[in-house]
Amino acid sequence: MKNFVQDGGTITANAPYARTSGQGALIGQLFAVACADYANGAEGEWKTHGVFDLTKIGTQAWAVGALIYWDNTNRRCTTVASGNTLIGVALLAVGNTAGEVIGRVRLNGTALPAEA
């Protein structure tokens, strides 16, 4: 196919804010995970598809299949839709103790603004 560019699983984009490898970021309306460490505005490679362990709100329990949103203000995942951006679903149940700050997320490959 002459017009095929790439599969889109990894893209090149500028970091909207400083990120280290494995941290998520909202790039416009696209959520992606940094493949390396990037300074604010630096060009880099970002994963848009796949399953990742990402920072979450420690006091929030997740059930398998729960919709997961990106809180761009606090730069972490949440199950709270209001004011946040849908990025995927939870793949593991996780508790709500203060120390449980990592959740497993299957990215949906796009970011959708939540209904206010």
Whole-number pLDDT of residue 96: 94
**pTM (two decimals):** 0.89
Per-residue pLDDT reduced to its tens digit, 23-70: 999 999 899 999 999 999 999 999 999 999 999 999 999 999 999 999
Q: Is the pLDDT of residue 114 over 70?
A: no
Could you state, in order of their start, the residue ranges of all structural domains in the chain? 10-113
Q: What percent of the chain has pLDDT over 70?
A: 94
Residue 116 has pLDDT above 50, yes or no: no
For residues 85 and 69, is the Cβ–Cβ distance under 8 A?
yes
CB-neighbour burial class of residue 98 (10 A; exposed 0-12, middle 13-18, buried 19+): exposed
Does the CA dihedral 14-83-89-94 come out positive or negative? Answer: positive
Within 8 A by CB and 6+ apart from 101, the residues are 55, 56, 57, 58
d(CA 61, CA 66): 10
